Amino acid sequence: MSGSTSAITVKKHSSFYRWLTGMFITLYKVSKFIARFFKELFMPPYEFKEVIKQCYDVGVRSFTLITVTGFIVGWIFTKQSRPSLVTIGATSWLPSLVSIAILRALASLVTALIAAGKVGSSIGAELGSMRVTEQIDAMEVSGTKPFKYLVCTRVIATSITVPLLATYTAFIALLGGYLNVAQNEGISFTTFMQNAFDPITFIDFWATLTKSLVFGFTIGIVGCYQGYNALRGTEGVGKAANGAVVTAMFLVFIEEVIVVQIFGWLR
């Protein structure tokens, strides 16, 4: 009995040990990948054209979805918040409540999740496919720098574009909120905006922009890491795309907690 228990413990221990070792190896590889990104970022060639192309791609790929989602989030959030405020006779707080929720949390989070789904998976699949079909090897053997051309440009693009998209999402969500408020309370756009921005401080803008920058960087680097290191075969491409989305979304939530905490201390 004790012999079999001990055998099970050893087995469990060894699988836990393997999991732990695997996690540290992955962490080491990711850290190395990020370090390489920063090292190559400041070295020529700078591939400006490709950065602009990637920024355009990232923006265009997510634009429609972000517009629709942002509007719906603002509209629904306002609609669902009203009953609680009506019971305490505080519907005049609705604009500020909506703006705080959107600017401090929802805009950057919704944008990041959409970008992770649309852009992260696309980067993972594209680079994964290039790895599997030896296109990345072909770049390497021709004396060019595929890491710079493929990874640095995409990570820069997501880091620039996600904050811009988050700002746009905030605007669209506020618009959705306003339309709902106007429908029920009949206040003007100027009054709504004045009330909405009243409780917003400079630090709120910084927090949202910083968060979006961190999210954008994460989506780019995770997508590139998964694609660049995809294993051989079509299965590897699928895994890279899936891994890019799942990991990026998970990290976005973790980072949300961390950044909110840091800016909470700064307030």
Binding positions for another protein, rule: CB under 8 A: 45, 129-130, 133-135, 137-145
Closer CB to another protein, 57 or 185, in the complex: 57
| DSSP one-letter code for 232 | S
Closer CB to another protein, 46 or 197, in the complex: 46
Closer CB to another protein, 25 or 141, in the complex: 141
- Closest alpha carbon to 146 in 66, 47, 212: 47
| Distance of closest approach, residue 145 Cβ to another protein, in angstroms | 8
CB-CB contact of 37 with 221 (8 Å): yes
CA distance 183 to 174: 14
| Distance of closest approach, residue 54 Cβ to another protein, in angstroms | 12
CA distance 34 to 37: 5
In the chain, helix, strand, coil percent, each to 5?
90, 0, 10
| Distance of closest approach, residue 167 Cβ to another protein, in angstroms | 29
Closer CB to another protein, 67 or 135, in the complex: 135
| Distance of closest approach, residue 118 Cβ to another protein, in angstroms | 18
Whether residue 45 is preceded by a cis peptide bond, meaning omega within 30 degrees of 0, is yes
Closer CB to another protein, 7 or 43, in the complex: 43
| Distance of closest approach, residue 95 Cβ to another protein, in angstroms | 46
- Closest alpha carbon to 221 in 150, 172, 142: 150
Residue given tokens 């009054």 in the structure block: 191
